[in-house]
Amino acid sequence: MSYLLTATCAVPAAGAVLTAALPAGSTEARRRTTKLTALTVSAVTLALAALAAARFKPGGARYQLTESYSWIRSFGISFSLGVDGIGAVLVLLTAVLVPIVMLASWHDADPAPAPDGTSDSATFEGRRRTQGFFALILAVEAMVIVSFLATDVFLFYVFFEAMLIPMYFLIGGFGDRAGGPEAARQRSYAAVKFLLYNLLGGLVMLAAVIGLYVIAQQQGQATFDLQSLTSAIADGKLVIDPTAERALFLGFFFAFAVKAPLWPLHTWLPNAMGESTAGTAVLITAVVDKVGTFAMLRFCLGLFPDASKFFAPAILVLSVIGIIYGALLAVGQKDIKRLIAYASISHFGFIIMGIFAMTSQGQSGATLYMVNHGISTAAWLLVAGFLISRRGSRLIADYGGVQKVAPVLAGTFLIGGLATLSLPGLAPFVSEFLVLVGTFSRYPVIGVIATFGIVLAALYALVLYQRTMTGPVRDGVRGMADLKVRELAVVTPLVALTIFLGVYPKPLTDLVNPAVNDTLSQVHRTDPAPAHPVAGPAGGEQK
Amino acid sequence: MNSLIPLLVAAPLAGAALLLLGGRALDRFGHWLGTFAAALSFVFGLVLFFSMLGRSAAQRPVQEHLFSWVPVNGFQADVSFQLDQLSVTFVLLITGVGTLIHLYSVGYMAHDERRRRFFGYLNLFLAAMLLLVLADNYLLLYVGWEGVGLASYLLIGFWQHKPSAATAAKKAFLVNRVGDVGLSIAIMLMFTDFGNVTFNGVFGAADQASKSQLTAIGLMLLLAACGKSAQVPLQSWLGDAMEGPTPVSALIHAATMVTAGVYLITRSGAIFNLAPQAQTAVVCVGAVTLLFGAIVGCAKDDIKKALAGSTMSQIGYMILAAGLGPIGYVFAIMHLVTHGFFKAGLFLGAGSVMHGMDDEVNMRHYGGLRKLMPITFVTFGLGYLAIIGFPGLSGFFSKDKIIEAAFAKGGTEGWILGAVTLIGAAVTAFYMTRVMILTFFGEKRWQPDAEGHQPHPHESPATMTTPMIVLAFGSVFAGGLLAFNSSFLKWLEPITGHSEGNSPLSSTVVTLLTMACMLAGVGLAYAVYGRSPVPVTPPVGSVLTRAARRDLLQDDFNHAVLVRPGSALAAALVYFDSKGLDGFVNGLAATIGGISSRLRRVQNGYVRSYALSMFGGTLVLVATTLLMRSV
């Protein structure tokens, strides 16, 4: 048994403790030590995640590098980890984004200058701000990675819930510098809203987790082990009656749909992303929310195949509403970060649609979408954060003509926007098109409606660019500095990945395809056959 | 030899990457680097063309597979190229005209501090356009399709500090996106019908599909073509696109990108041939746009917008021809090629005039320029004669063939289409003669600029006039060369197929009718504009004239039907989201758990204790459940 997966989770967890325990950051040098420690830990985590992905053999068993340690034996709960192709790409995404987020947030947790000009580093809270911020990011990373790797339902549940706590403190404790007490009040409101929504989802899921255990126990399958449960369901050893299955499905799905978030459970997201720092907003939308969509694919479909099929049409309707609704709301926003948040809601609609269309293209596309949305939204949002930190305002109307004074900033912001509107050649296009084609082949009407989302995406992305970056240079924008070296180091890898994965997504699809096949066979779904299949090898390289 | 095909795309792509990422160090010679990349691609194109000439017709199409792009179970799309008679024709047009316009831009953009970036965008455009015509499957074509849209967006908005340029760029991209929805859906339909999106795969299986399936695909492809080629009802962006620098208007919005719709329909001939209803729709779009553009072209005083109306109208001819099926495909492409020469030449001439007139675009402020700008006058004049179809020049051969093909459609349809194309020929002669008279003849109507400087028109530098002269040669000879001995027909026929149709009129009669229409248009324009002084301020004009000046109310229509209701909907939803939906959920929570009172406490500063207690509660709940079960 290898310890690679445990190490991938344990390193950031230990790093969080270590970072929190470092001497308080009353001086610049000490804060620098803290930041470099956290960054090093996240780099080691990335190396471990890359190693795990490299060791993973796409043609082999669904879950590989498995580890299992008995935890609460009397309930059949174990600390079991294993990686499949879907988990592997999402762990990689997390491990790539965390160091980038740290670098982008380098000064976000420095002691804030008080209104009278003195620094708040005199107070205890001020001194521990930096440690707190970076330790919390590492804690989130550790918990998210465990969630992607857990092959025990209870283990997953615990970490799915636990990550709310560090996220809560990240949202409530650190925000854009702009605004005084009013901003702090808005922040607390956003943090509490985030917590309440997600806790409520989690509580409902807990009831369903216990319910599942009770039913399994009655049939002699007293375990939380995912693979035992799914194979027992597949072999007919574990039979859940349809009503109970649907109730349990809804219990799980509700929690994931709050987190993802699916329309109409999305209203916490714009507050949380708007009020937190750009780095935290990236953690929310690009990393933490992905646990929700990931869990739909792994737990809802794997454990409750018949209920998944039963509810799929309803979920597809909600997701296509989310696609259009989120995009229209983005068009109507006045606040840059809230606009990006609503754009994300639209994108989550695409991801969920791809999952529940239950076709190979839809689910492979949805998995790629999770990765590509993570990377491209991170680029867009972090550049927006750099912009906002220069001007001290999130309002679109406060900008104009930035491309004249800061062309590199404007250029990278445009690339982020173009990725968001799924320009062909960039990564999100591949995943969005796969989701659309996968949905269309089974539900043409929904596929067509969703396709109109691409017009709205162009509208909100290009209008945002036009209003902030073009036109005459506005007063508050004059003299704005272009991207600094650290900021370039943040944006460059994201832009490079967006282009690379748009041109050559094969490394990811090779990982993802087998896991998607397995998921589809769990729900007993096969792709709709083409009406008039082309004979012979004309369809390009057949694998 | 085939390994040269990817280099066609790679050369300008590398140029674009270097120019856009290279930094200020490249400012001194960046424009020459960009021109070199374009010329290199042209040379590769020539080599491939001559090597293709040396092979028999059946051996001419070649494929070059690079790598597997989107491999998912059941869905395959590769980065793979196909070079055949149709695509090599486009390659030569794109890289040939492209190189000339790069050269022209060296002079035209000499005083722009962001010239290096301009050349980067131009190279990016070439790469995307070449990808579009070289792709061997629809998904890769889509990359080129939106890639040229991106380049167009960047170049229309090149002078971003002008709000009008930024708005025009966004509008072009958005309207094109509506068309792209069509292309997306067409590809999805192909996938569900055939499980395949390659040209060979789809065309080979097309005859097995039902007529309704093929009609649906055809109509969606037509929607895509309408967006890219500025055909009614997605025409509204092209006039505004004239905000871009004039070389851009010449290359992208006249000679190449806007003709991509014609390429798409011709390339997809195997689908359209089996879907007559879709073909009828194509023909109708072409016929309507042909007249729409021509009418708009008559009313515009802005020289570039008059030419833009003309471009719409000429592409309308091509779309109409493509909609005729095998009767028209070859002539659609032939007109596309000759139009590429003379319209690019006309735009470069317009740019040269603007260059000499301090960027003035209003033709009512021109007049009498023929003596001061002789080269511009002669080259523009040859382009003018070509576009109105003066006997012997390029447009004569290609447009005449389309009019013949329209009649050859047969039946009532043939008569209607023939009449429309003839009327179009008359109107074309009218508005082009108007442009010619207003610009080069008559008395000087030059106006001082805002600071009171009188313009001093002068001939443009050699970097600008050389491309104009080359294009003028094309305007004169290209049509005759292609028509001679039906060489172009024989060249393209193996790919597009060809049938003669059955024309009720002999080709001599059609030619005579066309001549008569052209002379009528020229004569009318001379009567209106040539015999009396042209007023500097435009007369009020008839209702039609005023409507045509406003592009036949296209923007008013779009605004009333789409923009205003759309903004209202977005605003209403923003209100609903924060007050309705959020309020509903909050209210629900309050009713169930009395959370609102707690929220108030929270906002009073108990945030953390509250959060922790909530989480603590969950933990206790979990622990209790566990304990209870183990007892």
Q: What ipTM did this prediction achieve? A: 0.92
Establish if A159 belongs to a structural domain. yes
Main-chain dihedrals φ then ψ at residue A523, nearest 5 degrees: -95, 10
The amino acid present at B185, given as its one-letter code, is I
> For residue B455, what is the DSSP state?
P
CB count in 10 Å sphere of residue B597: 10
State the best of A263, A459, A534 to mutate against chain B, taking most chain B CBs within 10 Å. Answer: A534
The pTM score is: 0.92
- Give the model's pLDDT for residue B604: 44
How many Å apart are CA B573 and CA A329, to the nearest integer? Answer: 6
Using CB atoms, which residue from A158, A332, A364 is nearest to B573? A332
Where b means 16+ CB within 10 Å and e means fewer, A241-266 reads eeeebbbbbbbbbbbbbbbbbbbbbb
Nearest CA in chain B to A268: B582
Chain B residues whose CB is inside 8 A of the A191 CB are: 607, 611
List CB contacts (< 8 A) between A202 and chain B.
618
The CA-based dihedral angle spanning residues A489, A495, A496, A500, taken in that order and rounded to the nearest 10 degrees: 160
Nearest to A168 among B180, B196, B611 (CB): B611
Nearest CA in chain A to B207: A532
Rounded-to-integer distance, Cα B551 and Cα B548, Å:
5
B163-194 vs B211-228: helix axis angle to the nearest 10?
160
Residue A541 lies in a domain: no
CA distances from B605 to A120, A187, A192, A229, B611 (A): 19, 12, 12, 45, 12
Residue B165 one-letter amino acid = A
Six-digit token string for B618:
């969950």
Residue in B173, B201, B618 closest to A199 by CB: B618
- The pLDDT tens digits of the residues spanning A312-330 come to 999 999 999 999 999 999 9
Closest chain A residue by Cα to residue B595: A196
B71 touches chain A (CB under 8 A): yes
Residue A335 DSSP SS3: strand
- Cβ separation of A437 and B80 shorter than 8 Å? no
Q: B137 and A540: CB-CB below 8 Å? A: yes
Å between B569 CA and nearest CA of chain A: 8
Nearest CB neighbour to A540, from listed B77, B163, B193: B77
Low-confidence ranges of chain B (pLDDT < 70): 584-631
Are residues A272 and A229 in contact, defined by beta-carbon separation less than 8 angstroms? no
Q: Cβ contact (<8 Å) for B205 and A452?
A: no
Nearest CA in chain A to B75: A361
What is the rounded (10 degree) CA torsion for B261, B267, B272, B274?
A: 180
Contact between residue A34 and residue A134 where contact means Cβ atoms under 8 Å apart: yes
Q: Nearest-CA distance from A138 to chain B in Å? A: 20
76-95 in chain B: CB under 8 A from chain A:
76-80
What's the residue count for chain A?
543
Show residues of chain B in contact with A537, CB under 8 Å.
none
- Between CA A354 and CA A436 the distance in angstroms is 7
> Count of CB contacts below 8 A, A vs B?
236
Residues in chain A closer than 8 A to B153 (CB atoms):
462
* Chain B residue nearest residue A187, CA to CA: B603
Nearest to B237 by CA among B264, B258, B261: B258
Residues of A in contact with B212 (CB under 8 A): none
Residue A101 located in a structural domain: yes
Question: Is A299 part of a structural domain of the chain?
Answer: yes
**Residue B191 is nearest to which of A329, A441, A540, comparing CB atoms?**
A441
Tell me how many domains chain A contains: 1
User: Hey, what's the torsion of the CAs at B483, B485, B488, B493, to 10 degrees?
Assistant: 130
Domain membership flag for residue A530: no
User: Does B179 touch chain A if contact means CB atoms closer than 8 Å?
Assistant: no
- CA-based end-to-end distance of chain A: 32
Q: Which of B20, B27, B117, B607 to mutate to test the interface with A (most CBs of A within 10 A)?
A: B607
Non-local CB neighbours of B201 within 8 Å, separated by 6+ positions: A534, A538, A539, B194
pLDDT beneath 50, residues of chain A: 121-122, 124, 537-543
Give the H/E segment covering residue B81.
strand B75-83
Q: What local confidence, expressed as pLDDT, does residue B564 receive?
A: 83
Residue type, B277: Q
Spell out the long-range contacts of A117-125 with Cβ–Cβ below 8 A and sequence spacing 24 or more: A121/A25, A121/A26, A124/A24
Which residue type sits at A115? P
Q: Which of A451, A466, A532 sits opposite B184 (nearest CB)?
A: A451
Spatial contact of A40 and A14, defined as CB atoms under 8 Å apart: no
Across the interface, whether the CB atoms of A433 and B184 are under 8 A apart is answered yes
Which domain does A365 fall in, by range? Answer: 4-522
Q: Does residue A206 belong to any structural domain of this protein? A: yes
Nearest to A329 among B188, B205, B574 (CB): B574
Is A528 a member of any domain?
no
Residue B251 one-letter amino acid:
L
Chain B hits for A403, CB-CB cut-off 8 Å, are 160
Residue A354 to chain B, least CA–CA distance (Å): 14
Using the beta-carbon criterion (under 8 Å), do A199 and B615 form an inter-chain contact? yes
- Judge contact between B138 and B381, C-beta under 8 A: no
On whether residue A532 sits in a domain, the answer given is no
> Is A361 within 8 Å of B75 when comparing Cβ atoms?
yes
> Which of B95, B517, B118, B93 is closest to B343 using CA atoms?
B93
Q: Which two tokens mark B465?
A: 């006039």
* Separation between Cα atoms, residue B481 and residue B479, nearest integer Å: 5
Cα–Cα nearest to B389, from B352, B424, B436, B417: B424
Count of alpha carbons within 13 angstroms of residue A299, beta-carbon side: 34
Partner A contacted by B447 (CB < 8 A):
no
Q: Do B184 and A540 touch (CB under 8 A)?
A: no
* Candidate from B71, B167, B629 with C-beta closest to A509: B71
